[in-house]
Structure 1
Amino acid sequence: MQSTPAQAAFTPAFSVDHTLDARGLVCPLPLLKTKHCLLQLEVGQVLYVLAEDTGAWTDIPAFVRHSQQHTLLDAQHTATGYHFWIRKGESLFSRSV
């Protein structure tokens, strides 16, 4: 589900394990810090990212999609910035073949 700035903020129905406040950072730092935070989390934990840089709106979902391991649970564009909820997935290297 993706919201537009005119829509009311959505309160997710899942718990957040870690919050990354990337407001004030410019591209590519919100994405790089998101990647770093995901490395620190356990599989299944949820990372909430708040960013202001417009590049984050495309960069973070594209990274999650291309990672083939994490899940973008929700993304919102509101008056307070860009909001992302990402569930950490299993590393591709730890999967059995």
Structure 2
Amino acid sequence: MSADRQSIIVRASQAISLSATLSDAEQQKANHLLGLLLAEDTAVNSDIDTRHLTFDIKRFVDGRGLACPMPLLKTKVALRDVAIGESLYVVATDANSQTDITAFCRQNQQTNTANPLILVVNSVTQQQLSASSSAQRFDTIYHFIITKTDSN
């Protein structure tokens, strides 16, 4: 990947752009995982006007294979580097991460009046695992796009 931003269209009026600050490896992982997300019917927060929504992803947290509470802890650390109007893309495989991250964002909205977090995308996909056996195995992946907003 080059230093240019890469855009992936979610719907006709929505776009996801990956920041050039992400490493090549992070961009490749994020592109692959976003491809899974886009292939599914993405669950977008109904409280948000999504007509002209653009996600400017500045950080990526790959929490696949990590047990609770590590995906949430890595999310909290990564949010320190996300500015107002920017987004964090988080993926995890631990089912508890869906509850943890959703609750964290909800609590943040209630307590942080200056720069609340909005959980824009909270979706689940299935990725087929490459296995040597003939039985098909799938990995459940939880996707989150969290945007830091300005309350004004």
| Structure 1: runs of 5 or more not aligned | 1-6
Q: Percent identity, please.
A: 40
- Which residue in the other structure is 2:88 paired with? 47
| Structure 2: runs of 5 or more not aligned | 1-38, 45-52, 110-115, 128-140
Find out whether 1:85 has 2:136 as its counterpart: no
TM-score, normalization: structure 2?
Answer: 0.50
The number of residue pairs the alignment matches comes to 86
TM-score, normalization: structure 1?
Answer: 0.77
CA distance in 1, matches of 2:73, 2:62: 13
Find out whether 1:57 has 2:98 as its counterpart: yes
The structure that is strand-richer by fraction is 2
CA-to-partner distance for each residue in 1:16-75, whole Å, 9 max, x for gaps? Answer: 222111111110000010011111111111001000011101100100000121000110
- Which residue in the other structure is 2:79 paired with? 38
**Contact map agreement 2:119 2:144 (CA 8 A) in 1:** yes
Higher Cα radius of gyration: 2
CA distance in 1, matches of 2:74, 2:84: 18
**Contact map agreement 2:59 2:81 (CA 8 A) in 1:** no
